[in-house]
Amino acid sequence: MRRLPVIAAVPAILAAGWFVPAQAAPPASFTKTVTFVDNTPDPTAFFLGPEHCMGRLPAEQPVEVKIPASGVVNVDISGFTGEWSLMITDQKGRVLTTADADAPETESTTFRMRRAGTINILPCNIAGTFEAQLTYGYTYKK
């Protein structure tokens, strides 16, 4: 008769396990490199302050990146000669961060996202060659 209480307890134990939330793995880190082409150098950006890449000449489409959760985002541009700048905005066009040093060989920025969201990366050619290598990456961090 001892078997009956044990057999009756099994469904209760299984049901309790059903309601325990699963432990989700953190989102995977990623890094991607693409060639970014800006054929319209725009020296008017020198006068725009932190919104460097919102000049008067036609702007190239930004690189849209989906950030899966809170974490650290790194963005670099390199492989150009002359003056380029870098601006990151949120989906509403608000500037999150910029990078603009006078005529270096690279521009880079690192910033923290507090939650999942989409960012727009806007490298811009102020007075330089037409191509740059854009590298961006994400690392999960609570």
67 in any annotated domain: yes
6 in any annotated domain: no
7 in any annotated domain: no
The residues near 125 (Cβ < 8 Å, ≥ 6 apart) are: 38, 39, 40, 41, 42, 80, 82, 83, 84, 132
Q: How many domains does the chain have?
A: 1
The residues near 4 (Cβ < 8 Å, ≥ 6 apart) are: none
13 in any annotated domain: no
Look at residue 72 in the predicted model and tell me its pLDDT: 98
What does the alpha-carbon distance between residue 136 and residue 46 come to, in Å, rounded to a whole number? 24
Specify whether the CB–CB gap between 138 and 71 falls below 8 A: yes
Mean pLDDT of 4-16: 56
Take residue 97 and report the two structure tokens written for it: 């961060």
Phi, psi of 17 (to 5 degrees): -65, -25
Look at residue 115 in the predicted model and tell me its pLDDT: 95
Give the tens place of pLDDT for each residue, 107-134. 999 999 999 999 999 998 888 999 999 9
2 in any annotated domain: no
36 in any annotated domain: yes
Q: What is the CATH number for 131?
A: 2.60.120.380
Domain that holds residue 130: 24-140
15 in any annotated domain: no
Look at residue 42 in the predicted model and tell me its pLDDT: 82
Look at residue 40 in the predicted model and tell me its pLDDT: 85
